[in-house]
Structure 1
Amino acid sequence: MKRVLTVAAVCAAIIGTSPAGAVAHDERAVRFATYNLSLNRPTEGLLREHLADPGVDDVYRRQAHNVAEVIQRTHPDVVLINEFDYDPEAARLFAENFLAVPQNGAPAQRYPYRFVAPSNTGISSGFDLNNDGVTGTTPGEAAYGDDSWGFGQFPGQYGMVVYSKFPIDSRAVRTFQRFKWKDMPGNAIPTDFYSPEEQAALRLSSKSHWDVPIAVGRKTVHFLVSHPTPPTFDGPEDRNGRRNHDEIRFWADYVTPARASYVYDDKGRRGGLHPGQTFVIAGDQNADPDDGDSYRNAARQLTGHPLIDARSFPSSAGAVEAARLQGGANTTQKGDPRFDTADFADTAPGNLHADYVLPRVGTPILRSGVFWPVRSDPLSRLTGVFDPQWSAVNGFPTSDHRLVWADLGLR
């Protein structure tokens, strides 16, 4: 029997059915993953339209079939999806019409539980946040995206979804969509760029930050997910770079009890995780520990954190091959290309390590990887290289980001 659970305060939806069957990896492991799959669409409601009718042959449906196949080939137990327009019905349709239907012989994946909630993207702020002299207040206006709390041409564009084969504790979910940037002590707000009124109202999260508790047997795993803004598309004030830094810092503080007292969620509950609680931080952080445009090496707030296990990163042979073949900016990077998770071709700053699955120290990491096949592998058709025929979606048959996974010894 299907049961529907809601978190009314944030208009969230979690849907549950009976648990899924066994997965084809170590029975001790729970596979956590993150995937920025670029299922954002240019207009509101278009994603739902595409997912409701999977039989139509166009570039949008082909991309949706391809990203579903990537998920099926990697079969995570719990996966964060970035860049999925906020729409609970679209989240249901993707699960039922794509993930639960075999794609090119890949095994169907059924996720009886999912979580979706609103995003700050495309929600009008009422301010001229990019200081161009025009305040965009109507979706579709040229200034609207930059003047929204998070960049988006309509409410919820570039949102998030969590799919899980394990139950989600709906009552314990915490969202931080409306947490104000000014309330983070020592924040990096460019005070010479934003007016006092804007500083008082600015939201920290460009999409949202979620603490989604997953019940793995008798253990609760806090799945801490987000998608910070890219540290680009701004000016010398580096407002997006600074915001990206503090969006990443939020989780670094949240998992550290001594530093989390300032945190409050959308229901008003204060504080972060309790000492010893198990967590996994996941998402497209839009920051590389060594390369790129991030502010003060933002990713190192996580990768160098004493409570976060970043001793070894998921890797792939495809990323190494891509860096070598594309050359350009990749040849002068400091970081190891095998850890790259985003294909930005040979444009500056080159391919980057942007997507992460980071467990708490002490959680066994049994295996991990990045779905980035080498070109001789038949499955490389799913990652591909930049091609104008896919320009309607983002120039790739799936996404310019790769699915990242880690098998954690939690059972």
Structure 2
Amino acid sequence: MHNGCMTPRVTRRRALAAAAAAGLGLPAAAEAAPQPSRPRGRFVNLRVATFNASLNRAAEGQLLEDLAADPDSGTGEDAQIRAVAEIIQINNPDILLLNEFDHDEDGTGVDLFRKNYLEVSQNGKSPVRYRYSFTAPVNTGVPSGHDLNRDGTVGGPDDAWGFGEFPGQYGMVILSRYPILTEQVRTFQKLRWADMPSNLLPTEYYGPQIASELRLSSKSHWDVPVRVGSGTVHVLASHPTPPSFDGPEKRNQRRNHDEIRLWADYLSPGQRSRWIVDDAGTRGGLAPSEQFVILGDLNSDPHDGDSWPGAIDQLLTHPWIQDPEPRSEGAVEASEVQGGANLQHTGDPRFDTADFTDDPAPGNLRVDYVLPSRPLQVVFSAVYWPHTDAPGSELTGAHPFPASDHRLVRVDLQVKD
């Protein structure tokens, strides 16, 4: 586990029961590579996924080197990236958020990932193609000019607006088969924490000057509209800071809570979202009539771990959000085999999405979410965490992980056309 990824429920029992009756048990359903979604009558079938793929590197530019094609084979040969690509090919989402993908200014990394890995068969899996993508700058590694960790010096990853060794480390990418309405994208990279009413900002720890300048988002928050059929689905993407690696002031726990709260406020009309101003200066939140899906490694479990009390419940209990409760049998097996901190957890291990160390705690947690708006029809959901005797388990594995310590989470939706 690293500082970039420490690293809640409305049930869909009927959908899961129907899937089981049809022979779509987990992870068997995850092994099938469905065809791209097509309109059916008045609906479009849409598979949406989030994956903290750990495509971050220790030095700036290193990911670009790993994404480059091998001169002999003409394709990408990095073992970890190939495993990530194979997981994506197996699950075949129509819209995918990748957390922890190092950002570069001209988007070269996204193009290399598509061309050299996703569009190349990995171990016989069908290539996947995403015509549309979106990425933008993030706060990780961007110098703040302040001593944010109060160690007496200015500089280094702890003193950046978001923890990072260089600007763009632990960035984000959205890949889509459907058109991204780029001109309508809203980003909230520079939104100040102090502007949030009744925030949890530890002003006494930072002091009034620093507290007045701090950015809320540790990476960024994006509202990315995607045209699906004749309608629009807003992809609300983020990656809040882990609620750990801090002191008694609990600055990271507090920030994680308020980063999650940003989306809860954004979805609430009127005064509650009036304080929100995007990077272009536009004020307010999302109109109540809009469809959306919240995606990301939100670094908050509803029952276990170090989250500020009620952090993720701000979304899981929001009246306009539904929780499909994606699950896997692999997570149950991992919890039982690994024991340790998992034995003290009160949450159901079926919902875990990340395989974290037990020394120190927290053990395995649910931190990665796909949360659709209530008008959207949920058909099926899953966490890609195969049981050890199932195909694909070699891609998740145990530490050191072949791909990532997080698991891909996906939800199948029907969107009105």
Distance across 2 between alignment mates of 1:56 and 1:23: 32
Q: Which residue of 2 aligns with 1:407?
A: 412
Q: Please name the residue that 2:139 is paired with.
A: 120
Which one-letter code corresponds to 1:346 in the other structure?
Answer: D
CA shift, 1:131, in A, is: 0.3
For residue 198 of structure 1, give the secondary structure of its aligned residue in structure 2.
Answer: helix
Q: Distance between the aligned counterparts of 1:260 and 1:24, measured in 2?
A: 34
Query: Is 1:335 the equivalent of 2:351?
Result: no
Partner of 1:93: 112
TM-score (norm 2): 0.87
Shift of 1:42: 0.6
State whether residues 326 and 345 of structure 1, in contact with CA within 8 Å, keep that contact through their aligned partners in structure 2. no
**1: CA distance, partners of 2:183 / 2:167:** 25
Number of corresponding residues:
374
Instruction: Find the aligned partners of 2:329 and 2:180 in 1 and give their Cα distance.
Output: 34
What is the CA distance between 1:238 and its match in structure 2?
0.4
| Counterpart check, 1:233 vs 2:238 | no
**SS of match in other structure, 2:109:** helix
The 2-side partners of 1:231 and 1:291 are apart by 12
Secondary structure of 2:112 counterpart? helix
How many Å separate the matches in 2 of 1:336 and 1:55? Answer: 47
Deviation at 1:56, TM superposition (A): 8.4
Match of 1:151 among 163, 174, 177: 163
| 1:92–1:399 Cα change, 3 Å | same
Q: Does 1:77 align with 2:94?
A: yes
Task: Report the equivalent of 2:386.
Answer: 373
Q: CA deviation at 1:26?
A: 9.5
Maintained 8 Å contact 1:290/1:297: no
Q: CA deviation at 1:362?
A: 2.1
| 1:298 corresponds to | 311
CA distance in 2, matches of 1:266, 1:197: 21
Q: For 1:180 and 1:197, how far apart are their aligned partners in 2?
A: 12
1:9 is aligned to none
Q: CA RMSD in A?
A: 1.7
User: Secondary structure, in 3 states, of the residue corresponding to 2:85?
Assistant: helix
- Asked if the contact 1:86/1:157 (under 8 Å) is kept, the reply is yes
Quote how far apart the aligned CAs of 1:371 are: 0.5
Distance across 1 between alignment mates of 2:283 and 2:37: 40
Structure-2 residue corresponding to 1:200 = 212
Q: Deviations over 1:246-304 (max 9, x none)?
A: 00000011011131111110000010101121000010000001110001231111111
SS in 1 for 2:319: coil
Report the secondary structure of 1:381's partner residue: helix
Alpha-carbon separation, structure 2, partners of 1:25 and 1:332: 45
2:85 to 64, 68, 84: 68
TM-score (norm 1): 0.88
Q: Which amino acid aligns with 2:298?
A: Q
1:163 aligns with 175
AA partner of residue 43 (structure 1): A
Preserved CA contact (<8 Å) 1:54 1:61: no
Mapped contact 2:56–2:100 kept (Cα < 8 A) = yes
In the alignment, is the contact (CA less than 8 A) between 2:39 and 2:229 conserved in 1? Answer: no
Q: Which runs of 5+ in 2 are unaligned?
A: 1-33
> In the alignment, what sits opposite 2:398?
385
1:25 Cα deviation from its structure 2 partner: 9.1
Give the residue type in structure 1 aligned to 2:151. D
Task: Please give the secondary structure, in 2, of the residue aligned with 1:32.
Answer: strand
Match of 1:14 in 2: none
Q: How many angstroms does 1:350 deviate by? A: 1.0
Partners of 1:25 and 1:135 lie apart in 2 by: 53
Counterparts in 2 of 1:322-361, with a 5 A limit? 322-347=334-359, 348-361=361-374
> Does residue 1:245 correspond to 2:257, yes or no?
yes
* SS of alignment partner, residue 192 of structure 1: helix
Q: In the aligned structure 2, how far is the partner of 1:56 from the partner of 1:172?
A: 42
Shift in alpha-carbon separation, 1:240–1:400, aligned structure 2, 3 A: same
Q: 1:218 aligned to 2:248?
A: no
Moved over 3 A (4+): 24-28, 54-57
**Higher RCO, Cα 8 Å, sep 6+:** 2
- In structure 2, relative to structure 1, the CA distance for the partners of 1:315 and 1:296 (3 Å cut) is same
Cα offset, 1:192, TM superposition: 1.4
